[in-house]
Amino acid sequence: MVINNKERAEMLRQLAGTNVSLCIQCGRCSANCPVAWKMDVLPHRFVYELLNGGNVDVLLEAKSPWKCLSCFSCAERCPKGVSPAAIMEAVRLTHIRAQGNNKLNPADLENYDDKMPQQAIVAAFRKFNK
Ligand code: SF4
Ligand code: SF4
């Protein structure tokens, strides 16, 4: 079944379960993300693209969800209670389900390198063991 951009945005919104319509695009989530410097698409954009029925492909093709530590700093600092972390998780889940699997393929972690914080390893374990 082929679904369009709007339907995929809705699917991600439902998977994430966070209210993106509250976002005021202040950027605090990205400013407080400890690995933003390693991300190709910043956390606030994950909200923005769902908010405006934007380019979901940008989110699904981004490396950022695999850099994300699941630390929830973005959600903690959001003045509107939005959780970019939940959208990162929704994107990861979308990829994992597309593989017909409940687990992450170790090859997907190829972007981890020796400059990543140790917490990334812990987060990777969580993703492996879903
Ligand atoms: S998700 Fe929250 S912190 Fe991030 S841009 Fe939107 S309102 Fe600001
Ligand atoms: S949960 Fe992910 S996106 Fe949010 S602040 Fe932590 S590392 Fe960044």
pLDDT digits (tens, 9 = 90+) for 111-128: 666 666 566 666 666 666
CATH number assigned to the domain with residue range 5-128, chosen from the 4 options 1.20.120, 1.10.1740, 1.10.3470, 1.10.1060: 1.10.1060
Counting ligand 1 atoms within 8 A of each CB, the residue from 20, 80, 83 with the most, and so the one to mutate, is 80
For residue 21 and ligand 1, the question of a CB distance below 6 A is answered with: no
Distance CA 5, CA 106 (A): 28
Distance (angstroms) between ligand 1 centre and the Cα of 25 equals 5
Return the domain boundaries, the chain. 5-128
Q: Is the CB of 87 under 6 A from ligand 1?
A: no
SS3 label, residue 25? coil
- Whole-model pTM: value is 0.81
Q: Residues 4-21: pLDDT tens digits?
A: 888 889 999 999 999 999
